[in-house]
Structure 1
């Protein structure tokens, strides 16, 4: 079973060598940890995932969560996993010691979560949302709410959710209408929320909802939104629980992640739903979005993990499936020869290399963003902390979007490797393809992330974040130039940085004229353009590390291992990076074809 869904050697290589976890562990905040302790933790997570997660992956898809007799029925492994996740520290890992957590670096936490998501992406969401909801309480709620809810959430006894979306509002949070009416020290909550992942399920003693709602008389739009703790069952003074008038109306049957329930909730059907205000009134959206960086990194991480599981499934198949014969030097095939394994066919190797380039590059990107987060929190120098915060801000929409969108491309190629079998339910590739499709929608669609990147992050702090990122990339280019074999690739990346400036100069002209609609009209092609370049940077970093290891005769990994990373880097620069040229032409073309006009375009 080992390595059927993840390559632990590559994960550790990217974590310890390429992204240098040691730099984070040297910070005082993480002084209780060393590389050996983190490696032991990762190994224990892999062992757990092998036994308690991967074996149920297909079964949870075939027997999905569903609404029955007023409650959500889930696979029995869900409640078992929640309890054991609490015991093993999966929930408490990133929390401060003072909050009952393990104060573990985000890099290590994300390595753990990646393994779990690659093993069975239907389960970790229950833990992830509980963690996210508890984080909101820890950071912004009063001591009483912390003492009442956080310990039981970290232990896995109680679940947690974040309730944003409403039927009439969708992603437009300024249009939410769920209301909060003052009632002494608390509020009466009334309204409904949809698409609530892990919103309710059989076997959970309590679910703690973090709900966005509008206090009566609050300003219109996003400025009038507050955040509330609204448990499914409210705790009484004696420690027992009573119903808090939170009703599960229905569930959503989905094309993928079918073992991960998604619910429609109604608050206050009997006018007896109590909510506790988190922090200050009308600050709810600000609080929620302060935690959004972590949530968006988590979505990208999950997409990379799903694509990784699919890559290993298609790779295993390619090494087992004989079909066709290799071409002879004459250009013909010898029918008398035995069939060759499909992994020997160039086009199959191209598809497998694309999967490898996308999945391993995406994981490197996840670890890099985790490192920026860790250093922004732990750096003793305020200026350094601010630097890492800006780098994290500009990278967050990319780390959410690239693995999500290109992960779909990666798995689609995996299905193609299997041919007709890839389309059959007997083989797992079709499930991976269905499961990953939501990633480009979770926590803000690709279009929303793209507008965030171009409209906010590129321009934020007068372009400071982009400047810092450019400096990081240029430093990597300089390090690669020290190796003669890597110089051509370093120069190619340098040329793409210059092309980026040309593209931005062209687009910024619209913003300077006040034509923001035209400025953002092609934000999604810009995301594809820029993230492709960022990923080339990651592969140059990986390639430089591998080349240096070969030069120094490093024994941490085999020579074959390092050569495989260099080969994949070269593949990315040949097959993926050149696509940015066509995208740049799209972005700098003056013709506007997608703006709404008086012309009738759609029949």
Structure 2
């Protein structure tokens, strides 16, 4: 029997029973959708994942992209896969009807990308990198630029990328040195520099690659204030922007200097690009000069929620692989039945194996709930009005660093638990969990390291608008507590969450009191992010447990076990994970400055 890579039942539980995503059709922008159309999207995603992406999971890992004669060669089936995503309208599905899109809510779109990522993460990234780049163009570019680039990006004929990082400028984007010099044509610049770690930055599965690239216009303001955004195609239209209908492409002085060989996520190439080594690559200014970083943060924030979802996708695939193995692998006997000659039992009968499975399930299903909730907030912020839209935007902004970082960091641990369940077999390439373990490791790094997101949460997001985002989130948590206390079975969990919220509030107040010295204030921002993340996932589990408790008395068939599993996993998270906030609170309120007092030459 094929190993499942996700649970359609669990995904629909989150969407329809907890979040109630079908309520989005009450917003005019999504009025054409209903639960039936959402289910059609999810079913289509499942079919693509099962038939197109999953069969290439192993081969794309073992036959990684290679640079041949200046061009990166990827798996030959990727061209057909990207075309399928274009033909079926996945790349521009969230965009408006006028643009050929479906006005699909981000909640459902991200649920679909979860399925694709769980099927084969490497193959899933190509089309949605293009979607993000196209969204930047349509949001900030001129009508001429939109007409020039986006139709072929939507169709899958052209790839889109985000080109930020340079050899000496990773997280510190203010230090980029890629330059832009105006030509005689308005809006066109000669771009010179280099970019590294560019996902899908060059490959042979599309006819062109359009880089949304950060560069500094010569003579502009120093630092981050001087960063502008440009569309820099690998090949440009010969007649250039004056005739966007032209089909003739010529080289644009964007050369591939190398392809990075990674520990995981091998099927998607990561390129080192030399830009403008000759006459200079033509770049087209997107929006206003010196506003590039602000524009790029739109794509980066969308991508950060996407990174969290990708981490959950990979972790979920590993979880189901280890779950199937635990059910099938006989080993040992119960502790109270040691009679030799008695049959061995499947390892799922052992408490420690169940602990590792519960750990995976609690982290992953809790994180999936948070990510879909963030997606729902994004939809309300985008398509709603008034106070509801404002509150949704604040909540999304506050939760983004958590939604990116908690699943990413914990995904490394859940995939490790999957390997551990398989034992020696998990350490071999005969089973896919070793691949998932390797692929999980990128997510705490790209789209902002965990440390960067800790600084963002504590240094900016917590204090925005006088802390209103935190107040709104605590209000949502208190609402979940009130709903849970209706059920005596859930009162202990509700009380534990209430105590954790008080603990988080006390720690936050203590840290803000240290803000006069930013070195002390932010020294343990990463631990604060972890603390906040655990409390946030506990909130999600209380919501899931409340829904399960309500549904259980009338549940039938497989749903009985499903809801029992939800309730038991919520108990696990509170007993094994939420308690970690006690020691984190102690550390965050300690006046021991060991990381600041330690000297570099003492290591």
Match of 2:229 in 1: 227
Match of 1:358 in 2: 363
Match of 2:242 in 1: none
How far 1:36 sits from its partner (Å)? 0.9
How far 1:415 sits from its partner (Å)? 0.6
- Structure 1 pair 487–257 and aligned structure 2 pair: CA distance change class (3 A): same
Match of 1:489 in 2: 493
Match of 1:312 in 2: 320
RMSD: 1.3
Per-residue CA shift, 1:428-477, capped at 9, x if unaligned? 11100000100011100000011111111111111011001010100000
Per-residue CA shift, 1:382-404, capped at 9, x if unaligned? 22211110000000000001110
Residues 99 and 138 of structure 1 are in contact (CA less than 8 Å); yes or no, is this contact kept in structure 2? no
TM-score, with structure 2 as normaliser: 0.97
Match of 1:343 among 335, 342, 348: 348
Match of 1:383 in 2: 387
Residues 402 and 531 of structure 1 are in contact (CA less than 8 Å); yes or no, is this contact kept in structure 2? yes
Match of 1:400 among 401, 404, 421: 404
Q: Does 1:591 align with 2:578?
A: no
Residues 525 and 587 of structure 1 are in contact (CA less than 8 Å); yes or no, is this contact kept in structure 2? yes
- Structure 1 pair 140–596 and aligned structure 2 pair: CA distance change class (3 A): farther
Per-residue CA shift, 1:121-173, capped at 9, x if unaligned? 01111112101110000000000000111111011111000100000112110
Match of 1:367 in 2: 372
Match of 1:286 among 278, 294, 298: 294
Q: What are the residue-to-residue correspondences of 1:226-245 with 2, within 5 Å?
A: 226-237=228-239, 238-245=246-253
Q: Does 1:178 align with 2:170?
A: no
TM-score, with structure 1 as normaliser: 0.97
Equivalents in 1 of 2:138, 2:455: separation in Å? 30
Match of 1:188 in 2: 190
Q: Does 1:67 align with 2:71?
A: no
Q: Does 1:324 align with 2:335?
A: no
Per-residue CA shift, 1:553-600, capped at 9, x if unaligned? 256972221111111111111111101101111100011111267x45
3-state DSSP of counterpart to 2:335: coil
Residues 73 and 201 of structure 1 are in contact (CA less than 8 Å); yes or no, is this contact kept in structure 2? yes
Structure 2 unmatched ranges of 5 or more: 240-245
How far 1:203 sits from its partner (Å)? 3.4
Residues 325 and 335 of structure 1 are in contact (CA less than 8 Å); yes or no, is this contact kept in structure 2? no
How many residues align? The count is: 595
Residues 82 and 205 of structure 2 are in contact (CA less than 8 Å); yes or no, is this contact kept in structure 1? no
Equivalents in 1 of 2:368, 2:331: separation in Å? 32
- Structure 1 pair 262–596 and aligned structure 2 pair: CA distance change class (3 A): farther
Match of 1:93 in 2: 93
Match of 1:151 in 2: 151
How far 1:272 sits from its partner (Å)? 3.5
Residues 100 and 151 of structure 1 are in contact (CA less than 8 Å); yes or no, is this contact kept in structure 2? no
Q: What are the residue-to-residue correspondences of 1:116-131 with 2, within 5 Å?
A: 116-131=116-131
Q: What are the residue-to-residue correspondences of 1:194-593 with 2, within 5 Å?
A: 194-237=196-239, 238-328=246-336, 333-380=338-385, 382-511=386-515, 514-551=516-553, 553-554=554-555, 558-593=559-594
- Structure 1 pair 252–581 and aligned structure 2 pair: CA distance change class (3 A): same
How far 1:27 sits from its partner (Å)? 1.1
Residues 56 and 120 of structure 2 are in contact (CA less than 8 Å); yes or no, is this contact kept in structure 1? yes
- Structure 1 pair 316–157 and aligned structure 2 pair: CA distance change class (3 A): same
Equivalents in 2 of 1:128, 1:542: separation in Å? 29
- Structure 1 pair 21–557 and aligned structure 2 pair: CA distance change class (3 A): farther
Per-residue CA shift, 1:256-294, capped at 9, x if unaligned? 001010000011111141000000000000000123221
- Structure 1 pair 336–292 and aligned structure 2 pair: CA distance change class (3 A): same
Equivalents in 1 of 2:224, 2:97: separation in Å? 34
